[in-house]
Structure 1
């Protein structure tokens, strides 16, 4: 028997078990154990992400399975950060690291900085260094700040014909 209802941004509802939410997320564990008003409520309104992402996260809490895609990965990382799900965040980081390429390396580098994804930051930066000749031709090159660009061009590992 469920004992809490999650109300999503689109006003749909998901019937849940507090014990499952608490086991999966320190956010929910704190909410339900702290004695705060929200923890005693039957209906919990969530608006930290869009409804589809919250549904994916809740499904993950129950099944342990999640389908990460280029279309949902950033929102899943943000949701895992909000819900304090370190294991899910680490799983997402592995996905991002495995998909670093010319078209996304700057974006992933910056995203890694926002969410403190150290392996992603290193992987994206190393990719930029190793593919600098190709990388400097793409339009995203100008997304690097002056400091980031200096860090790239001053690296001993930079793969460039003429620095």
Structure 2
């Protein structure tokens, strides 16, 4: 028998090494650290752009300022189609510096570049205005609904720091009642931190899962997500059983 260097538990083998549980835990910790470093790099790059102004007399454009703007954004599918909202003015240089997607639109001969109008579908006017404001200020006033809307926009236009910002806000609002819909939302929009946090809450109370109204809706709309939840839960049970019965290790 050999002992794990981390937890000192004995397990099958001939030399000192690392047991499966400690190896997996170390891998998870390393992945979390990499993710945190990437988030910080994204934030540094984003905020650095605010300081890179060309010359001492340059005045950085204000969000939604019509003067000298050379592009407008339009919420083409506003929730209230009876109301006509004004286009939101912006500056190409700002949009290009913040989003690879806007860069591709505006630095080529795409329709948006030629017309100076960017139509953004499936977004409320308030969310679009908050999104544009964030591109200028790196700040947003959030509630749960706005955080979801901005996360969707951040994913679509590859504004990584905004996506992280919204994920952290939603994680702070997580509870058992909203964990399942937030898990499905995070799954749809590749929000891994929110996904992991919601899954952890779900697995802590699996006995109540089928009693949720959202559970039946999810079974109908996207059973694949439900299957993944059960697979994660069963995997956790197997790992827990192996930890509690070390003699079963080989």
TM-score range relative to shorter protein: 0.7 to 0.9
1:108 & 1:118 partners in 2: Cα distance? 11
Task: Tell me how far 1:105 sits from its aligned partner.
Answer: 0.5
Which of 130, 146, 166 is matched with 1:72 structurally?
146
Change (3 A) 1:133 1:48: closer
For residue 150 of structure 1, what is the aligned residue in structure 2? 230
Q: Name the TM-score, length of structure 1 as normaliser.
A: 0.82
Q: Distance in 2 between matches of 1:134 and 1:3?
A: 54
Work out which of the two has the higher radius of gyration on C-alpha atoms and give 1 or 2.
Answer: 2
Alignment partner, residue 85 of structure 1: 159
What are the ranges of 5 or more consecutive residues in structure 2 without an aligned counterpart?
1-67, 77-83, 241-250
| Structure 1 residue 131 displacement after superposition | 3.2
The CA deviation at 1:36 is 2.1
**Whole-angstrom CA distance in 1 between matches of 2:97 and 2:90:** 12
Q: In the alignment, is residue 97 of structure 1 matched against residue 164 of structure 2?
A: no
TM-score (norm 2): 0.56
Alignment correspondent of 1:131: 205
Deviation at 1:90, TM superposition (A): 1.4
User: How far is the alpha carbon of 1:45 from its aligned partner?
Assistant: 2.9
Post-superposition shift, 1:44? 3.0
Paired position in structure 2 for 1:2: 69
Q: Across the two proteins, how many residue pairs are aligned to each other?
A: 158
Residue 69 of structure 1: how far off its partner (Å): 0.8
Alignment gaps of 5+ in structure 1: 159-163
CA RMSD of aligned residues (A): 2.4
